[in-house]
Amino acid sequence: MINPLAQSPIFTNQFGIGSGDPVLTILSLLSYLFIFVFIFYGQRIQMYVMIREVENSLFKLKLMKEEGRKTAVETIKEIGKPTTDPSSKVDRYLDYFTISPQNMDPAGIVNKLDHILDVRDQRMKDEVKLMAPASDEVQVYNLENTLEAAMALNFIYKVVRHYYLQGKKTLSLYTIMQLQMILPMVMKEAEAYASALKAFAYGQPIGDGAGPLIAARIMHGQEVHKIPKDCVYAEVPFENRTALVMKAEGPGGNVGKPGEAVQYLLEEYKGKVTAVVMIDAGLKLEGEALGEIAEGIGAAIGGPGVDQFKIEEAVVEQKIPLYAVIIKEDIGDAVSMMRKEISDAADKAIERIREVIKERTQEGDHVVIVGVGNTIGVGQ
């Protein structure tokens, strides 16, 4: 019988079928199979590849989460000398949540949020004290920060796992694709928290402490006064002016309540203050150098916005100009141990503050300088 395919030179030469060579025939059939598989199952194969990538990241997140828990438990045992095993309390703490106030009628929401955050803060500290009875105040702050980092890792892991399982269950390419696309950023943040665990456990300064570090450098050697809440300030002669330099009370992991502290200082020195300069770590864009200094206007402060609101209210009431100096770093540097570049940037930032004050105020004026951020590992 004549093989019609063998008669066709195109089929014989280009596709190999009918050439009589079994190897070529098998290879040709395999290539067809590949083409059909990719036409009909290409998207699914792509999804499985993505699922595998997400899975790998998820395993890494799981390890980080477990490391966070382990570090927290070990630090509590080491510092707090508890009589019972704190593991179950740590597990309970890791799932702790805060419900933000209802914002359908936004009037008065700042006070509500402030109250909720105060309650949360107090509750956290009480829990830490219960878990680690032998710890002093500084250690309580540091332990709280360690637990917060462990909490963040736990939360990230759970959210990623949720979308991974949901995507896998529904075989939704778009769910998996979105997750896979944001994973590099998520992993970067998680890695920063993972490396921050030891910093918090040992009380080492973190990148976010750039503001308090600069304030501490200016106020060092002067008499320090405590002000509400969890903040300190010192009167410092600065370029023939009086600088009221304030920061959160260190060296425990603490951000204080700079909003209330600024309100307090402006009230105490009513009519005398001619400028407020805020220093904080600012988010850098890719391509910008770490530790670069930038200057601007407004309240340089992150967080839920309560302190920003209070500072803005206080300066508006007395019509005081508000200046900002930021030290640029990315989110990873902000929550992990302070990099040398950030530590070295402190002197450059002080020079910039000096220039701002000389240009914008008169000799004999009072100026408030606020170092915003977590003051862990930075005394005064």
Partner 1 sequence: MTNQANSTGANKISTLVMAAIYITLILSIVAIGVGIAAFYETGTYEVTLYLLAIGFIAMALSGYYLLQSRKHTANLKIEAPKILTTIECVKCSIKTTRDFQRGDYVYKEIEKCSKCEDMQVITAIYREPTAKEKEKEKPAAV
Give residues in contact with partner 1 (CB under 8 A): 21, 23-24, 27, 55-56, 59-60, 62-64, 66-67, 191, 194-195, 198, 202-205, 213, 216, 220, 250-251, 286-287, 289-290, 337-343, 377-380
CA distance 166 to 183: 16
Minimum distance, C-beta of residue 325 to partner 1, in the bound complex (Å): 19
Return the closest-CA partner of residue 293 out of 252, 251, 334, 353. 353
CB closer to partner 1, 263 vs 380: 380
Minimum distance, C-beta of residue 251 to partner 1, in the bound complex (Å): 4
Minimum distance, C-beta of residue 334 to partner 1, in the bound complex (Å): 14
CA distance 68 to 74: 10
CB closer to partner 1, 66 vs 365: 66
Return the closest-CA partner of residue 280 out of 235, 222, 313, 326. 326
Minimum distance, C-beta of residue 347 to partner 1, in the bound complex (Å): 11
Minimum distance, C-beta of residue 16 to partner 1, in the bound complex (Å): 9
Structure tokens at 160: 């990623």
Minimum distance, C-beta of residue 204 to partner 1, in the bound complex (Å): 6
From the centroid of its chain, how far is CA 318?
33
CB closer to partner 1, 112 vs 168: 168
Three-class secondary structure of residue 243 per DSSP: strand
Crossing angle of helices 109-131/306-318, nearest 10°? 130
Three-class secondary structure of residue 162 per DSSP: helix
CB closer to partner 1, 110 vs 183: 183
CB closer to partner 1, 5 vs 290: 290
CB closer to partner 1, 56 vs 178: 56
Which residues have a Cβ under 8 Å from the Cβ of 348 and sit 6 or more positions away? 291, 293
Minimum distance, C-beta of residue 113 to partner 1, in the bound complex (Å): 31
Which residues have a Cβ under 8 Å from the Cβ of 339 and sit 6 or more positions away? 207, 290, 291, 329, 333
Minimum distance, C-beta of residue 27 to partner 1, in the bound complex (Å): 6
CA distance 353 to 175: 47
CB closer to partner 1, 288 vs 365: 288
In degrees, to the nearest 5, what angle opens at C-alpha 237 toward C-alphas 232 and 239?
A: 125
In degrees, to the nearest 5, what angle opens at C-alpha 188 toward C-alphas 215 and 164?
A: 140
CB closer to partner 1, 157 vs 264: 157
Crossing angle of helices 173-202/22-75, nearest 10°? 30
